[in-house]
Amino acid sequence: MTENSVNQTSNQTSARAVRAGVVVGNPKPASRTFQAAVHLAEQLTGAAPELAVDLAAFGSGLLDWSDTEVGEAVEAVRGLDLVIFASPTYKASYTGLLKVFLDRFPSNGLDGVVAVPLMLGAGPGHQLAPEVFLKPVLAELGAILPTRALYVLDSAYEDPAAYEAWLAASRSRIAASVAASKA
């Protein structure tokens, strides 16, 4: 896998450490959506994500089912304990870029993975989009979804206050779900 599409970091931590990652379906590389997903992963685990998949870097490889780099990214995501699946809001839903990547997973391909759907949008009118559109796809793939999805306004993605209420309500549920899935 190239550094442009997938970034894996090596953590010198115990075997009980949470293996977390982000998958970002924004067509713009290193986007606000990417930054928001990394921030959320850091807030949930206390460390940078072990895996960061910025789907924009895959280009047409996402449409080629024989592309080994995309296949390796799918397998890497499947091996994590916790994954933030993030997308900007496009036409009141998540991006086709993210959908094409999720289509690569087999039935129950996220079994045992705790997933957090995260979407960014321009206004509050689409705040149910991650709950109504992204979360059901992750559930269909077998992900563990212990909390409500998170929607953050584009204008507030850098503001820690935009995440505080959700984190206060969700952090312990996510930690318990990760611990149970690793048991």
Give the model confidence (pLDDT) of 28-42 as tens digits: 999 999 999 999 999
pLDDT at 2 over 60: no
Q: Is the pTM above the cut of 0.75?
A: yes
Mean pLDDT of 133-160: 98
CB-based contacts of 121: which residues, under 8 Å, 6+ apart? 88, 89, 127, 129, 151, 152, 153, 154
pLDDT at 44 over 60: yes
User: Could you tell me which of 149, 28, 153 has the C-alpha nearest to residue 85?
Assistant: 149
Q: Residue 8: pLDDT band by 50, 70, 90 thresholds?
A: low
Radius of gyration of the chain (CA): 15
Q: Residue 5: pLDDT band by 50, 70, 90 thresholds?
A: low
pLDDT at 176: 97
pLDDT at 127 over 90: yes
Tokens of 85: 């699946």
Neighbour order of strands in the sheet with 6-8: 6-8, 51-54, 20-24, 82-88, 114-121, 150-153
pLDDT at 106 over 70: yes
pLDDT at 9 over 70: no
Domains of the chain: 18-182 (3.40.50.360)
Tokens of 156: 């507030």
Mean pLDDT of 143-158: 98
Mean pLDDT of 16-26: 93
